[in-house]
Amino acid sequence: MSKETRWLDDQEQQLWRTLREFLWQFPSAMDRQLSRDSAMQSGEYSVLAALSEAGGPLRPATLAGELVWDRSRLSHLLRRMENKGLVLRCTDTEDGRGQLVSLTDEGWQAIRSAAPAHVTFIRQSIFDHLDDTEREMLERVLHRVLGSVRDASAATNANC
């Protein structure tokens, strides 16, 4: 299985460097904003946001699917968030084998408090610099790239 490497041309190399820099810089900037303004990490914010948007308790597997995280990562984070009083894990009364995760009053207060500054950061960092056409194009491009990544991941997992 020897395929010749398809090296990046100069334009592709420049685009890759820009994308790589974005992938390194943006998450750090977002973490700094959340830490500074809300004393939380981006993972915690993501969990709180997903639970608040769900409008009710979620099974951990469903929450992991919503966040596109593996269950192990989520489980460790939920344990830390439970210790902070932000979420509650309890037995699913409809299926005693499973658990449900819900926001506590403190979790609701944390997401309500954090959301305005975080949305402002996202808006100022990304959306204010793009017109409608650019936003639509960025969304289409990112969906295509993510689809390719998911396809490659599924193929890799199928070969295990």
Instruction: Between 129 and 152, name the one with better pLDDT.
Output: 129
Q: What are phi and psi of 84, to 5 degrees?
A: -85, -10
Q: What angle do CA 150, 41, 86 make, to 5 degrees?
A: 105
Q: How many CB atoms lie within 10 A of CB 38?
A: 19
Tokens of 140: 């289409």
Q: Are 107 and 90 in contact (CB under 8 A)?
A: no
What percent of the chain is predicted at pLDDT more than 90?
A: 84
Mean pLDDT across the chain: 93
Residue 154 pLDDT > 90: no
Fold of domain 38-154: Arc Repressor Mutant, subunit A (1.10.10)
What percent of the chain is predicted at pLDDT more than 70?
A: 98
Q: Are 86 and 52 in contact (CB under 8 A)?
A: no
Q: Mean pLDDT over residues 127-131, rounded?
A: 97
What are 61-67's contacts with CB under 8 Å, separation 24+? Answer: 63/101
Instruction: Between 124 and 95, name the one with better pLDDT.
Output: 124
Q: Are 44 and 52 in contact (CB under 8 A)?
A: no
Q: How much is the pLDDT for 15? A: 96
Residue 103: HSE in the Cβ half-sphere, 13 Å Cα cutoff: 21
The residues near 104 (Cβ < 8 Å, ≥ 6 apart) are 85, 86, 87, 88
Residue 2 pLDDT > 80: no
- Quick one: CA torsion of 71, 126, 121, 47, rounded to 10 degrees? -10
User: For 38-75, what is each residue's pLDDT tens digit?
Assistant: 999 999 999 999 999 998 899 999 999 999 999 999 99
Q: How much is the pLDDT for 160? A: 60
Confidence (pTM): 0.86
In the three-class reduction of DSSP (H, G, I as helix; E, B as strand; rest coil), residue 12 is classed as helix
Q: How much is the pLDDT for 4? A: 93
Give the confidence band of 153 by pLDDT, cuts at 50, 70, 90: confident
